[in-house]
Amino acid sequence: MHKIYLDNAASTPLLPEVMEIMMEVLKENYGNPSSIHSHGRHSRTVIEEARKIIANILKVSISEIFFTSCATEANNIIIKKVIESRGVQTIITSGLEHPCVANTISDMTKRHDLKIIFVPNDSDGNLDYGFLENAVKENPKSLVSIMYVNNEIGNINDIGKIGEICKANGALFHSDAVQALGKIELDLSKIYVSYLSASAHKFHGPKGAGFFYMNSDCIIDPLILGGAQERNMRAGTENIAGIFATAKALELSVKNMSENQSQILIVRNYFKQRLKEELADIQFNGNQDIAINHILNVSFPPSPKADLLMFNLDINGISASSGSACSSGIPKDSKVMEGIGHDKERKAIRFSFSHNTTLEEIDYTIDILKKISPTQ
Ligand code: PLP
């Protein structure tokens, strides 16, 4: 049976070159990077080389990159410590953020006297930037937390514009860039952000490795205390192989970006075209004009068969992601789907591609969808 992976927004396969590099570091660099002997210094060099690669790609200073175990950790560190160490009184965010941002903000509002303002969005997930600007102007000492690319519907938010608004009004700006890195250009010498997070396994690096950028004018206190690793910002012996693999995976993704993205766009357009022509009552969620190439969120019409779509895709060897769940017979959309007012009777499925996805795989997926979808 075919095994088709259309869930690249959830995680991506490790690039073979990255795996090789990782194995070598695991084997060779066993010295503790905090040790001052040659084995330790050798490991330290690997970490600093990785930091330099990432800093060069983002066009920032090497002292502004901090390695973590994942983007969830990076977002927790940033949000919690920006609030606690920079006197933030207001958080301006959207209702479409990833749970690791949304739940951290919600938890912080229970522990601190914080005002929280949600930037409204329309049914395509477009944010109201005028509202955001007014909110920033009316609320000094605010932290704006808006993701670069939405992980469920793929909308690319205008972080350049948000950065300008924040900079002009003295607000701090955090952006979760997990679904953007390695897929679209990001030049932080041109775009203002105070903090930005990323995760290696979303750009063909390993799981358990991430990092954040912190603008040197926006220093926060550490969340995890212990040794002096990451210049006292994130204690704990470093995941050297993961860190080096992160840098190499990002380097390769950026180097091959235009070729990879062209391939992904061909796949996306072909899939969309065939879905529109061959399946009835299909809708695409999110603003298709600003959607990132690799995420396509498809909404299928209501029917008892719709609830079995994910299950039937899976038993036919196709892995995708559900934007909704059915608990006790009641269909329930994810927060993002709810946030864009998606009809919960319909079934939303996120298909996400990589440069490895082929048109033959799309043909097979369409054949299966024609058999299992509600209107056939
Ligand atoms: N932010 C976004 C937008 C994501 O898509 C994800 C992963 O699904 C995360 C954060 C969490 O990343 P990690 O798996 O590195 O914790």
Q: Is residue 166 annotated as a catalytic residue, yes or no?
A: no
Question: Would you state the pLDDT for residue 90?
Answer: 98
318-371 pLDDT per residue, tens = 999 986 555 555 567 899 999 999 998 999 999 999 999 999 999 999 999 999
The residue that leads in pLDDT, 305 or 106, is: 106
Ligand 1: nearest atom to the Cα of 97: 3
Ligand 1: nearest atom to the Cα of 69: 15
Residues 131, 137, 138, 142, CA torsion sign: positive
Percent of the chain with pLDDT over 90: 93
Quickly list DSSP for 37-93.
Answer: SHHHHHHHHHHHHHHHHHHHHHTS-GGGEEEES-HHHHHHHHHHHHHHHTT--EEEE
Nearest residue to 319 via CA among 275, 294, 285, 352: 352
31-60 pLDDT per residue, tens = 999 999 999 999 999 999 999 999 999 999
Question: Would you state the pLDDT for residue 274?
Answer: 98
Question: Would you state the pLDDT for residue 328?
Answer: 53
Amino acid at 314: D
Q: What is the band of 301 on the pLDDT scale with cuts at 50, 70, 90?
A: very high
Question: Would you state the pLDDT for residue 333?
Answer: 81
Q: Which of 70, 100, 218, 326 is catalytic?
A: 326
Best substitution site from 78, 96, 100, 295 to test ligand 1's pocket, by max atoms within 8 Å of Cβ? 100
Ligand 1: nearest atom to the Cα of 200: 15
Question: Would you state the pLDDT for residue 287?
Answer: 98
199-257 pLDDT per residue, tens = 999 999 999 999 999 999 999 999 999 999 999 999 999 999 999 999 999 999 999 99
Question: Would you state the pLDDT for residue 329?
Answer: 55
**Measured distance CA(270)–CA(315) in Å, rounded:** 24
Nearest residue to 27 via CA among 5, 15, 42, 37: 42
Q: Cβ contacts of residue 315 below 8 Å, gap of 6+?
A: none
- Pocket lining: 70 vs ligand 1, CB cutoff 6 Å: yes
Best substitution site from 11, 67, 98, 181 to test ligand 1's pocket, by max atoms within 8 Å of Cβ? 98
- Pocket lining: 210 vs ligand 1, CB cutoff 6 Å: yes
Q: What mean pLDDT do residues 92-106 have?
A: 98
172-201 pLDDT per residue, tens = 999 999 999 999 999 999 999 999 999 999
Given a cut of 80, is residue 375 above it in pLDDT? no
Dist. CA 216 → ligand 1 center (Å): 24
134-163 pLDDT per residue, tens = 999 999 999 999 999 999 999 999 999 999
Dist. CA 131 → ligand 1 center (Å): 26
Best substitution site from 72, 155, 174 to test ligand 1's pocket, by max atoms within 8 Å of Cβ? 72
Question: Would you state the pLDDT for residue 307?
Answer: 79
Given a cut of 60, is residue 376 above it in pLDDT? no
- Pocket lining: 71 vs ligand 1, CB cutoff 6 Å: yes
